[in-house]
Structure 1
Amino acid sequence: MGLLDNKTLLVTGVLTPSSIAYGVADLAQREGARVIVTGYGRLSLVRKVVERLPEPVPVIELDVADEEQLSSLSARVGEHADRIDGVLHAIAFAPQSALGGNFLNTEWPDVATALRVSTYSLVSLATALRPLLAENASIVGLDFDASTAYPGYDWMGVAKAGLESAARYLATYLGPQGTRVNLVAAGPIRTVAASNVPSFDDRRQDWSQRAPLGWDISDSTPVARACVALLSDWFPATTGEIVHVDGGAHAVGN
């Protein structure tokens, strides 16, 4: 028996085999889930990457800033499944002008892009999929600790703080239908997305020094396991929570 037997999951954010989302999709399949993947931009690349998964998966195009794609998402996913038991939100983006110490000079259009893609998309994705959400469905989002400021992370840090608040409100409003909404705050993992953050190397060194359990930036397995556990039925009364999977670094002062 797998943790996710007879469940169908929608996984966003798969880009390369190093993506945390890929690790979640891989482990979810090994735990018995049927997986549907969304991709943005280079769909041919996403399709090639998911060929490495244990089982074939459908790939659906999704730009969370495109209202037409969001409005048709339920119907397009419905071509492959009659219900969705779990959703992984692994979507984040900020223009380079919103990162790297340019915080005071970033103009609103670029800030708006960061907030729309990295924060509001949690709500828009959940709303778009609501007709398909099964009873006791679980939505899990990938987070990065927003309790402190990290120089260089800038407006993405603000977007993650907004994501944490949005998750609590989403948990409040979707709770009556049985849907749980939780976040996994991961330590820094070496992914394509992380490589675009100018301060990533500094943050990696900080984590390795502070984390009581240590931290391996090349291993997303601990994060994937936490996501799969939250997507399963093993946390039936947990919602609005942020689970830190970072070796304990968030609990230790600088």
Structure 2
Amino acid sequence: MGILEGKNILVAGVTMNTSIGYVVAKIAQEEGANVVVSNFGRAMSLTNRVIKKLDPVPPLIELDVTDEEHLARLPEQLGEHMDHLDGIVHSIAFANPETALGGKFMSTPWEDVGPAVQVSAYSLVSLTRAVQPMLAEKSSVVGLTFDASFSWPAYDWMGVAKAALESTNRYLARYMGPEGVRSNLVAAGPLDTLAKKAIPGAEAFNEVWGERAPLGWNSKDAEPTARAVVALLSDWFPATTGEIIHVDGGLHAMGA
């Protein structure tokens, strides 16, 4: 019996088979979960292709976390596949690579900062709120971050958005805790996802991790990160909330 046996999980933000969300969905299924995945717009066609590699093929629903109509109909869409929800995986982030990333920090207009914060941080709350009536007691919300304790080259306003996400996680833990709902984040090292490839200069992260991570780091292997997410979705962390679990080969704990 797997650690997610019989649990209903929404994995929001699956695009490619290199996506952390995709690997989470795969391992969650292997651990017995009933999984639904989401994406929106043109990316839906990519998601539809890659999820055919999963067994069983999970239902795919359209969800733009900035669209109030999408959020309002989410419980109805999920209700076609499950009668309650035990876990949410927030694998969603966005910042305009032309203006908000790659060293353009000082010139980024608010018109591009606002959406980065809304999609990457505020949506942790808007998504949870949308499905709140469906959340079972002892359910779990898990998001993904890239350690926002520091400024990183080229990460710019995405780094600010991740700092907002980390604070949002703590407040979500405060307000959802009385309902028996946990909220935690996994801080992954750099992984060669579609999102990372959109960041100008992001390849430098691999060099840093290659030199400084005491356990070493494989930027092509999302499984360690996905396993941490699945563990937090399970009942094995019943009293852990508001936490950030680092899966980065240990680099976060190292000095110069």
* Shorter-chain TM-score tier: over 0.9
> Aligned residue for 1:134?
136
Number of the residue aligned with 1:47: 48
**Conserved? CA contact 2:15–2:44, under 8 Å:** no
1:201 is matched with 203
Question: Aligned partner of 1:205: which letter?
Answer: E
Which secondary structure state, in structure 2, belongs to the residue aligned with residue 51 of structure 1? helix
Gaps of 5+ in 2: none
Q: Distance in 2 between matches of 1:198 and 1:45?
A: 23
| Residue 196 of structure 2 corresponds to residue 186 of structure 1 | no
Identity of aligned residues (%): 57
Residues of 2 paired with 1:194 and 1:7: CA distance? 30
Match of 2:175 in 1: 173
Q: Which whole-Å CA distance do the structure 1 matches of 2:57 and 2:154 have between them?
A: 39
Moved more, 22-31 or 46-55: 46-55
- Give unpaired runs (5+ residues) of structure 1: none
Shift of 1:80: 1.1
Q: Out of 148, 151, 157, which is 2:150 matched to?
A: 148
Contact preservation (8 Å) 2:217, 2:249? yes
Runs ≥4 residues deviating over 3 A: none
The answer to whether the 8 A contact 2:189-2:249 is kept is yes
The match for 1:11 is 11
- The one-letter code matched in structure 2 to 1:34 is N
Q: C-alpha separation between the residues in 2 aligned to 1:250 and 1:105?
A: 29
In 1: Cα distance, 2:46 partner to 2:109 partner = 32
Aligned residue number for residue 27 of structure 1 = 27
Other-structure match for 1:84: 85
Contact 2:120–2:162 (8 Å) recurs in 1: yes
Q: Deviations over 1:45-78 (max 9, x none)?
A: 2111101012121100001111111111111111
Structure 1: distance between partners of 2:55 and 2:226: 16
**Coordinate RMSD, CA, aligned:** 0.7
Q: Which amino acid aligns with 2:248?
A: D
Residues 4 and 31 in structure 2, CA contact (< 8 A), matched pair in contact too = yes
Q: Which residue type is aligned with residue 255 of structure 2?
A: G
Looking at structure 2, the residues matched to 156 and 128 of structure 1 have their Cα atoms a distance apart, in angstroms, of: 24
Deviation (angstroms), 1:253:
1.9
Counterpart residue type for residue 26 of structure 1: K
* Counterpart among 241, 249, 252 of residue 250 in structure 1: 252
| Secondary structure of 1:68's aligned partner | helix
For 2:40 and 2:208, the matched residues in 1 are separated by: 32
Give, in angstroms, the shift of residue 44 of structure 1: 2.2
CA positional deviation for 1:199: 2.5
What is the SS of the residue equivalent to 1:37?
Answer: strand
Structure 1 residue 98 corresponds to structure 2 residue 92:
no
Name 2:212's counterpart in structure 1: 210
Report the AA paired with residue 24 of structure 2: V
- Residue 148 of structure 1 aligns to a residue whose secondary structure is coil
- The code of the aligned residue for 2:246 comes to H
State the partner residue of 2:125.
123
| Superposition TM-score, scaled by structure 2 size | 0.98
